[in-house]
Amino acid sequence: MYLKHFRLRDRPFKMTQDLSYYFSPPHQIPLNELCYSIEEEQGVALLVGGHGMGKTTVLKRLLLSLPANLNGLMMSDNSLGGDSLVEQLASMLHLRVPRNQPHLVSEHLKGQLLRGKKLVLLIDEAQALTLRQLEEVRFLTNLEHQGRRLVEIVLSGPPVLRDRLQLPELAGLRQRVAVQSAVEPLTESQTEAYIRHRLRVAGTDEPIFDSFAVASIFGHTRGVPRLINLLCDRSLVAAFARGQKQVDVPTVEAAQVDIRRIEADRLDERTTENGDRSASLSQLLDALERIEEKQDRILERLPES
C-alpha cells in the first residue's frame, strides 16, 4: 500500500517472523547465556519474556548459530497439543518408536553422541505443556552416556512459565534448570535504533519517523518489539493516507487510536460470541500475525510479474 510512497522494497514492520530484520542488541545477552548453557552441557535453560518480546526470534537465531555437531530441533505447544513430547520428538527425528517405549529414543540419541552429534531441543511456549509433558522433559534431562548428557533443552515462555515450574510436582525438573535468561524490553534509544534498522533493511535511510514520533511510539509500546511493529506499521498507513512523507506525533496518535478501536471491536466480537471479555492485546497481535503469515504464504505461491 505505502511502499512506493516511502520508496520501500518491503514492509519494514511486518508482524510475521523474518530473520532478515534481526536486531541483535536486546537479544545478545540471552543468546549468549543460552549458548553457554548448551556448550557447557548444563542440561536445561529457561528463557522468559512477555508477549511480543522476541523470544521466538531468539530461539530461531540460536538454531542458526549452532555448530554442525549440534542437531537443533524446535517445537511448541502448537505442534505438541496434548500428545507425548517424547513421541513427538521421535517423529521429528524420523524414528519409528512404538508407544510407551521411550528407551528407543534414548538409544538413538546415544548412537548420535557416539558419532559426535548431539541434540539441542528448543521448546517454545513451554508454559502450555501438560504436567505429563514436563515430566517427559525431566526424563530427557536424565539421559546420559559416560557422564555426558544426550540432550540439551531450552524452555521458553512468558514469566508464568517460571511460576509453573514452582509446582511441587515439578521439583525434579526445576532442580535441573541451571541457566535462567530473560528478554527485556527495548530502551528508548534502542527503540529508535530498531526503527531505523528495519527501515534500512526495507530499503531506505530516510528519517521517516521524526524524533518526537519515536518518543511517542516508545511511550505507547514501552519498548515491546511486536507492539512497536504494530504501531509503526499503522503509522505508515496513516501517513500515506494523509499524503505525508514523514511520520509525526499526530500521525502516531491517530494510528494508536485506530489500534485501540480494532482491539475494542475484537473485544466486542468476543463478548457477543463467548459472553466474556477475556481477549487481550496479545491475542489481537497473535491473530494479526497469523493473518500476515497466511498472506505471506499466498504471495509466495503467486508467479513473479
SS3 112: helix
Q: What is the CATH number of the domain that holds 160?
A: 3.40.50.300
* Residue 94 placed within a domain: yes
Do 120 and 202 fall into the same domain? no
Q: What is the pLDDT of residue 163?
A: 93
- Grid cell listed for 126: 513451554
- Number of domains within the chain: 2
User: Residue-wise pLDDT tens for the chain (305 aa)?
Assistant: 789 899 999 999 988 878 899 998 889 999 999 999 999 999 899 999 998 999 999 999 999 999 999 999 999 866 666 678 888 888 888 888 766 677 788 889 999 999 999 999 999 999 999 999 999 999 999 999 988 999 999 999 999 999 999 999 999 999 999 999 999 999 999 999 999 999 999 999 999 999 999 999 999 999 999 999 999 999 999 999 999 999 999 999 999 998 888 777 666 565 455 544 444 555 555 555 555 555 455 444 544 43
Do 193 and 154 fall into the same domain? no
Do 42 and 160 fall into the same domain? yes
Do 196 and 274 fall into the same domain? yes
Q: Which of 182, 215, 241 is the last residue of a domain?
A: 182
pLDDT digits (tens, 9 = 90+) for 16-68: 878 899 998 889 999 999 999 999 999 899 999 998 999 999 999 999 999 99
Kindly state the greatest CA–CA separation across the chain.
68
Q: What is the pLDDT of residue 103?
A: 75
Give the integer Cα–Cα distance in Å for 129 and 134. 6
Q: What is the pLDDT of residue 270?
A: 55
Do 60 and 89 fall into the same domain? yes
Q: Where are the alpha helices (DSSP H) in 182-280?
A: 188-202, 211-221, 225-242, 249-274
pLDDT digits (tens, 9 = 90+) for 203-224: 999 999 999 999 999 999 999 9
Do 206 and 164 fall into the same domain? no
Do 38 and 149 fall into the same domain? yes
* Residue 128 placed within a domain: yes
Q: Which of 182, 204, 239 is the last residue of a domain?
A: 182
Which residue range is the domain that position 35 belongs to? 28-182
Do 63 and 141 fall into the same domain? yes
Q: What is the pLDDT of residue 91?
A: 85
Give the integer Cα–Cα distance in Å for 279 and 284. 8
* Residue 4 placed within a domain: no
Q: What is the pLDDT of residue 88?
A: 87
What sign does the CA torsion over 267, 260, 188, 233 have? positive
Q: Which of 155, 182, 209 is the last residue of a domain?
A: 182
What letter represents residue 236's amino acid?
L
Give the integer Cα–Cα distance in Å for 117 and 179. 22
* Residue 2 placed within a domain: no
Do 209 and 89 fall into the same domain? no
* Residue 97 placed within a domain: yes
Do 49 and 155 fall into the same domain? yes
Do 56 and 191 fall into the same domain? no
Do 295 and 199 fall into the same domain? yes
* Residue 7 placed within a domain: no
* Residue 23 placed within a domain: no
* Residue 8 placed within a domain: no
Residue 290 near residue 232 (C-beta atoms within 8 A): no
